[in-house]
Structure 1
Amino acid sequence: MKWTLGLALSGLAIAGAILVKPALAAGLVGVAVVAVAAVVHPDRYRRGYGALLAVVLVGYAMLGRGFAYVGVEPLYIGEMALGLGLVALLASDRGLGRTLRSPIVGLLLAYMTWGAWRTIPYLGTHGVGALRDAVLWGYTAFAVIVAALLLAGEGWRRVPEGYRRWLPWLLVWLPFGYLASTIWIERLPRMPGTDVTIPLLKPGDVAVHLAGAGAFLLLGLWDLRDRRRAWLEWVLWGLWALTFVAAATKNRGGMVAVVVALGLVMVLRPSWRWFKIGMAGATLLAVLVAADVRVDIPGERDISARQLARNAVSVVGDETGSESLQGTADWRRRWWGDIVDYTVFGPYFWSGKGFGINLANADGYQVDWMDESLRSPHNGHLTVLARAGVPGFVLWILLHGFFGVSLLLAHFRARREGREGWARIDLWILAYWTAFMVNATFDVFLEGPMGGIWFWSLMGGGIAALEIQRRLPHAAEARA
């Protein structure tokens, strides 16, 4: 019955698209063909979609915003992945049933429902703008999709193994990809029909993935099969450090995200090894400061160890020595304060301003009135408060608080019961998720596909990991 209804709705969508936009209709026909394939071969379809989603995540991490424009408006790669993922969800009965039993998913669905209620009334007024803003709750579907796929079979074991294989390529690419996006942006190719270069990496996005990679390395999850090549890990750490300096000098939120995420790992799993890595990093930083190594970028902050130090000082105090750093901080604080005033203490307590309105325009903080490109404050958590009101914000806090605490408790339980592999996986996911949450506090991050799809997919992996561990016999020897 569900497949019959789904195919009928697909047929109506294709018919409408043919009249409006033939290119979009072609894409929808492709989706319909894939849906038929999912009916005939559900197991193969799930595996194929898992591989596709992995490619999408790699593309976002390594190419950034440029990759997000793959496709035909309004059916870009993120929307295609979401649509195909919903089909995969229908083909994952067993995994979906196990996923829905998770209390975290219950909170997630409650948040989605509230977000939909605060979006639907504005579709007629704001149209595409409402749908664009709605990804802040709409992309949560990726968490359910990923969890269901991983719980439908034995796919979970491929996640850490796949990440282990990808990690060296990520760390080799990021220094060049990020510097190209910053220094040589005028020479990079553009996506057809846009001014968006490929790659186009934001420093905050890069920093979050550095946090995930660093946690993976610190926890020993990237173990070499041949210990005689242990030097390779130090090469990766060197590339990691260079990329961190480049990204952290341009983005304080990303810098804080890395420090908090790796600090969490070091506190929960103290080791002499961390001290050696920290000393090597401090030595490298001291050399860069002493040599005053810098990359000058006209009209922007330079990339240098000294700028990194100024950013660090600006996080913990107001005396930054830089008018641009202090001005940015003051602008953010004023806007965030206004949001709290008109929601927690004002007329938008219950409803928020909804998904669709341009908050920068409505609140008087637009930085470019020509194209009105800024829509939300540089804080994803306060964006939820502004758009969904206090009830939506409470659901947001409950959802993420429950998820984070669940991973922390699972980590301690796995250590107590001798499941060292699971203990490391739990802490890796927790640290990676923490980096996303911290960076979202300083940037428009989860509101776009580069951050949002990655974030909710990571949470889906965490939900699956928690459900798998919950079904393991207590005090039994098991390996993740």
Structure 2
Amino acid sequence: MIRSLSVPHSTSLGDRYILALSCVLLGYAMIGKGFAYLGLPPLFIGEIALLAGFVVVLRTGCLVAALATLPSLVLAATMIWVLLRTLPYVGAYGFDALRDSVVIMYGGFAFVIIALLLEDGRRINSMLRSFGAFLSIYGPTIPFIYALHHYMANYVPNWPGYNVPVLEIRSGEIAVHLTGAALFVLVGFRKVSSLWILFVLAGMMMASVSSRGALLAIVLPIIFAVLVLGKLRELALVIVVGLAIFATAYAVETTFRDRREARASSERSLSAQQIVDNVVSIVGQGGEQTEGTKTWRLEWWNIILANTMFGPNFWTGRGFGLNLADADGFRDGDHPDLPALRSPHNVHMTMLARAGVPGAALWLGFLTSWFAMMMHAMLTARRHGQTEWAGLFLFASCYAASFVINASFDVALEGPMQGIWFWCLIGFGIGTTMIYRYMQDNCLWKARLGRQLLPARARRGLPPA
């Protein structure tokens, strides 16, 4: 935790809202898509939380101040552009247009979190404390919950009136949160037991089986954080132990078990052989099924590029509401008999296809400015020897990077399960950076004022202040 900040008592309306939002985020993480269907259509639990957040923030008077950074301004411009590309299609596509737009419009959660942090900077520690409690529960339990979902899916009941299981967790969701948990421990915000580490490693391996994007979302941010923190010895130890366990499991599987090629991503077995196939597919030529899904994505992305970058939809895109899979002649590569997808398994391509080049440029500009701001704050804190602040900015940056990496290979930020988590994290990053800058500027101002006053006091024969 940040020792220069205390923890507020949860008595104000803003503190109670943060507690309620934490429960919503916990539900998304532990139950997944099933939790998202709580509510009364068209207001589900995520939309209710967003509307309640704006009501709470309006009482703080900090909403305008939340726009005082470059990433905030670029995000606001991106939301306005998406809104302009959504409203003309509401009449034709109805709720589908609004549903497609949440990939950016959930960015409202970022402004809610920024305003609440600006109202009381001590909430940084209360949020960190809540996340620490979350990972204590999530790390040991998620492997069992995911195994239940994977092996007992046929026995999980559906929500009444919806063809949606009560429990449905995707591998990408597990990957990003376990990455966040690992980062939280790496930067020193929490000490954990060896058993907790084993559970987290097991969950990471299970997530890596079903999705190459999940594998990259785990590996890349953690390696970057380890390099920045200089914990190469700890990383090497974990790698050696992990590879030894993995090699043993792979040898046993190849000796006593016949390999059956999965027909779909959902049918990939939780095995060491499947992880090897996923890794090989990333760097080269994998199995028939993994290569099929990769080829299917690349073909669709090339069509989107042709229609926007080099086609008639350069400035406006196709808008929000149109089913892109139907329009481009693509259905789910794993299940061609099911209804078509709405998004091309890449958030950047989603923005390009629906909002055109201006929308994609705003989106990429926002990501660039946010990560640049976070890295600058981290380097400043390291330069001043403020290891806790530096660890906080590194944690938030790498955690958010995990979301973006996973969203580059899957439909992730387009839904509330990961989208709301991502935008809350974005707001947390901006809010903490603003508070840190204020504290730094305030300390610098006091130091400069002291240097100006001391000579004058000495000239009058007074002791130093």
Q: Tell me the equivalent position of 1:24.
A: none
Which of the numbers 365, 386, 397 marks the counterpart of 1:419? 386
Q: Tell me the equivalent position of 1:61.
A: 29
Q: Tell me the equivalent position of 1:364.
A: 329
Indicate if the aligned counterparts of 1:183 and 1:297 stay in contact, CA closer than 8 A. Answer: no
Indicate if the aligned counterparts of 2:281 and 2:290 stay in contact, CA closer than 8 A. Answer: yes
- What is the 5 A alignment of 1:422-461? 422-461=389-428
- Distance (Å, rounded) in 1 between the aligned partners of 2:86 and 2:274: 41
- Distance (Å, rounded) in 2 between the aligned partners of 1:361 and 1:75: 27
- Distance (Å, rounded) in 2 between the aligned partners of 1:265 and 1:89: 33
Q: Does 1:399 pair with 2:392?
A: no
Q: Tell me the equivalent position of 1:124.
A: 91
Give the letter aligned to residue 244 of structure 1.
M
The alignment partner of 2:210 has SS state of coil
- Distance (Å, rounded) in 2 between the aligned partners of 1:259 and 1:333: 23
Which of the numbers 188, 191, 195 marks the counterpart of 1:235? 195
Q: Tell me the equivalent position of 1:256.
A: 216
- What is the 5 A alignment of 1:257-296? 257-271=217-231, 272-292=233-253
Structure 2: runs of 5 or more not aligned: 1-9, 445-465
Indicate if the aligned counterparts of 2:46 and 2:416 stay in contact, CA closer than 8 A. Answer: yes
Q: Does 1:385 pair with 2:346?
A: no
1:372: Cα distance to partner? Answer: 2.9
Q: Tell me the equivalent position of 1:344.
A: 309
1:443: Cα distance to partner? Answer: 0.5
Give the letter aligned to residue 357 of structure 2.
V
- Distance (Å, rounded) in 1 between the aligned partners of 2:253 and 2:164: 33
Q: Tell me the equivalent position of 1:49.
A: 17
Indicate if the aligned counterparts of 1:133 and 1:355 stay in contact, CA closer than 8 A. Answer: yes
Give the letter aligned to residue 255 of structure 1.
L
The alignment partner of 1:444 has SS state of coil
1:366: Cα distance to partner? Answer: 2.1
The alignment partner of 2:168 has SS state of coil
Which of the numbers 176, 186, 198 marks the counterpart of 1:218? 186
| Root mean square deviation, CA, Å | 2.1
Larger radius of gyration: 2
- Distance (Å, rounded) in 2 between the aligned partners of 1:265 and 1:237: 17
Cα distance change on mapping 1:350 and 1:308 into 2, 3 Å: same
Give the letter aligned to residue 470 of structure 1.
R
Structure 1: runs of 5 or more not aligned: 1-41, 224-231
Q: Tell me the equivalent position of 1:465.
A: 432
Q: Tell me the equivalent position of 2:463.
A: none
Which of the numbers 102, 109, 132 marks the counterpart of 1:164? 132
The alignment partner of 2:313 has SS state of coil
Q: Tell me the equivalent position of 2:7.
A: none
Q: Tell me the equivalent position of 1:327.
A: 292
Q: Does 1:74 pair with 2:35?
A: no
Cα distance change on mapping 1:51 and 1:105 into 2, 3 Å: same
- Distance (Å, rounded) in 1 between the aligned partners of 2:331 and 2:418: 22
Q: Tell me the equivalent position of 2:168.
A: 200
Q: Tell me the equivalent position of 2:60.
A: 92
Q: Does 1:101 pair with 2:68?
A: yes
* TM-score between both structures, scaled by the size of structure 1: 0.85
Indicate if the aligned counterparts of 2:100 and 2:414 stay in contact, CA closer than 8 A. Answer: yes
Indicate if the aligned counterparts of 1:63 and 1:198 stay in contact, CA closer than 8 A. Answer: yes
1:474: Cα distance to partner? Answer: 5.9
Cα distance change on mapping 1:173 and 1:203 into 2, 3 Å: same
Q: Does 1:247 pair with 2:207?
A: yes
Indicate if the aligned counterparts of 1:104 and 1:402 stay in contact, CA closer than 8 A. Answer: yes
1:465: Cα distance to partner? Answer: 1.0
Q: Tell me the equivalent position of 2:452.
A: none
Q: Does 1:142 pair with 2:103?
A: no
The alignment partner of 2:251 has SS state of helix
Indicate if the aligned counterparts of 2:90 and 2:98 stay in contact, CA closer than 8 A. Answer: yes
Indicate if the aligned counterparts of 2:216 and 2:405 stay in contact, CA closer than 8 A. Answer: yes
* TM-score between both structures, scaled by the size of structure 2: 0.88
- The C-alpha deviation readout for 1:229-278, integer Å capped at 9, x for no partner, is xxx52111100111111111111110011111101101211222222222
Indicate if the aligned counterparts of 2:207 and 2:214 stay in contact, CA closer than 8 A. Answer: yes
Which of the numbers 151, 155, 159 marks the counterpart of 1:187? 155
Indicate if the aligned counterparts of 1:218 and 1:274 stay in contact, CA closer than 8 A. Answer: no
- The C-alpha deviation readout for 1:383-431, integer Å capped at 9, x for no partner, is 0000000001100011010101111111111011011101101000011
Count how many residue pairs are aligned between Structure 1 and Structure 2. Answer: 425
Indicate if the aligned counterparts of 2:326 and 2:340 stay in contact, CA closer than 8 A. Answer: no
Give the letter aligned to residue 177 of structure 1.
I
Indicate if the aligned counterparts of 1:296 and 1:303 stay in contact, CA closer than 8 A. Answer: no
Give the letter aligned to residue 270 of structure 2.
I
1:476: Cα distance to partner? Answer: 6.1
Indicate if the aligned counterparts of 1:203 and 1:251 stay in contact, CA closer than 8 A. Answer: yes
What percent of counterpart residues are identical?
A: 37
1:332: Cα distance to partner? Answer: 0.3
Give the letter aligned to residue 394 of structure 1.
A
Q: Tell me the equivalent position of 1:20.
A: none
Indicate if the aligned counterparts of 2:261 and 2:289 stay in contact, CA closer than 8 A. Answer: no
